[in-house]
Amino acid sequence: MQNITQRLNSLHIDDLNNEKHSSYFFTTQEYTLLITRFFDLGNEELIGVSTPYLLFSDTEVYNYNRKDKEFIPLPQGHLSISESIDIQLDKSEKLIMHYVDEIDRLEDDLYMRKLSPIFLDVWFDLKKDITRMERILERAYESLKKYIKYYEDTDNFPKHEFANIMEHIERYQRLSALNSNKLDTLYNYYTSLKNDKMNGNVYALTILSGIFLPLNLVVGFFGMNTENLFFAGNPEGTLNVVALLGILFFVFLLIIPFITFIEKLILRRLLGRFNLYNKLVENVKKISLFSKGL
């Protein structure tokens, strides 16, 4: 251990002991330092798992154990590094698929209009972790790309194994980016649903205001302190006013839903669907004519 550390730059010793160090590749005249960082779950949160490798030659390769502060020889050199990275990638793949399942479940609940009161909290945690996965995978890909380019022409370098590793990382990157975009879509859809609900509440308040405003006007009119007011001195005046208010209330109560029904039935469903299908039929006809022309 002491002999190896004496051969290293003090800055690189700090890098080796830094458990949060991101993926990194650096070469000197005497040795090469490779650090790969992937991810795992710990204490109910996503954590980065950093693994350092030290190469003095193709045959003198070490894996540094931070916990015990010791260098572990890797007898198979580059092949041992590829096997170690494969193990880390397997854990990362299982974790990514777990997040994909959670996002799919969130998507299904949202599209079924099962709006959870903690939707934004769940969405934020998923978005934060998926974005972090993308960043970790990107840095690992770039570091391994430099490492492979530096050693690919050496004897017994396992090109096929590292090609598979790079392919897996690229696939996980695409999967993470896809689900990150899906989360953005879910957030926009959730916001639209919330806005529609708010608009519905405002619309309901507007309807209530439209119903009760004329009634308040009638009550205010008959409450004026003036002479010769309608039904003044009439023993049934109060009943007449109550009857007038009731008639007006039911008239407004029936007219407004009827107007809404007509709007939905004629303007939205019939005309909207009619125009939609007309456009679709026209497009299908154009495609058919074009195919026949060919």
Q: Report the range of poorest mean pLDDT among 28-37, 229-238, 261-270.
A: 261-270
Say what the pLDDT of residue 171 is.
93
Q: What is the rounded average pLDDT of the residues 271-286? A: 57
Say what the pLDDT of residue 154 is.
86
Long-range contacts from 242-245, C-beta under 8 angstroms, 24+ separation: 244/218, 245/215, 245/218, 245/219
CA distance 64 to 2: 13
CA distance 111 to 142: 37
CA distance 149 to 166: 12
Residue predicted with more confidence, 254 or 55: 55
Q: What is the rounded average pLDDT of the residues 244-261? A: 73
Is the pLDDT score of 155 beyond 70? yes
Ordered DSSP codes for 58-90: SS-EEEEETTTTEEEE-TTTHHHHHHHHHHHHH
Say what the pLDDT of residue 224 is.
67
Burial 4-43 (b: 16+ CB within 10 A, else e): beeebeeebeebbeeeebebbbeeeeebbbbbbbbbeeee
Which residues partner with 260 through β-bridges?
none
* Measured torsion, CA atoms of residues 71, 75, 78, 83, in degrees rounded to the nearest 10: -90
Say what the pLDDT of residue 20 is.
86
**Amino acid at site 183:** L
Q: What is the rounded average pLDDT of the residues 125-153? A: 92
Question: What secondary structure letter does DSSP report for 188?
Answer: H
Q: What is the rounded average pLDDT of the residues 14-40? A: 89
Asked if 33 contacts 56 with a C-beta cutoff of 8 angstroms, the reply is: no
| Percent of the chain's residues with pLDDT above 90 | 26
Q: What is the rounded average pLDDT of the residues 124-131? A: 91
CA distance 71 to 1: 6
- The token pair that represents 61 in the structure block: 């390769």
Indicate the pLDDT class of residue 181, thresholds 50, 70 and 90.
very high
In the numeric block, the tokens 């960082």 are attached to 37
Asked if 25 contacts 147 with a C-beta cutoff of 8 angstroms, the reply is: yes
Indicate the pLDDT class of residue 211, thresholds 50, 70 and 90.
low
Q: What is the rounded average pLDDT of the residues 39-64? A: 85
In the numeric block, the tokens 């299982």 are attached to 94
CA distance 52 to 249: 78
Rounded to the nearest integer, the mean pLDDT of the chain is 81
Listed in sequence order, the DSSP H helices in the chain are 2-6, 10-17, 78-111, 119-151, 159-222, 237-262, 272-293
**Amino acid at site 14:** D
Q: Report the range of poorest mean pLDDT among 18-32, 215-229, 273-287.
A: 273-287
Say what the pLDDT of residue 2 is.
54
Q: Which strand (E) or helix (H) includes residue 46?
A: strand 45-55
Say what the pLDDT of residue 169 is.
93
Q: Is 176 exposed, middle or buried (0-12, 13-18, 19+ CB in 10 A)?
A: buried
CA distance 132 to 49: 13
Residue predicted with more confidence, 3 or 89: 89
Say what the pLDDT of residue 148 is.
93
Indicate the pLDDT class of residue 269, thresholds 50, 70 and 90.
low
Is the pLDDT score of 52 beyond 60? yes
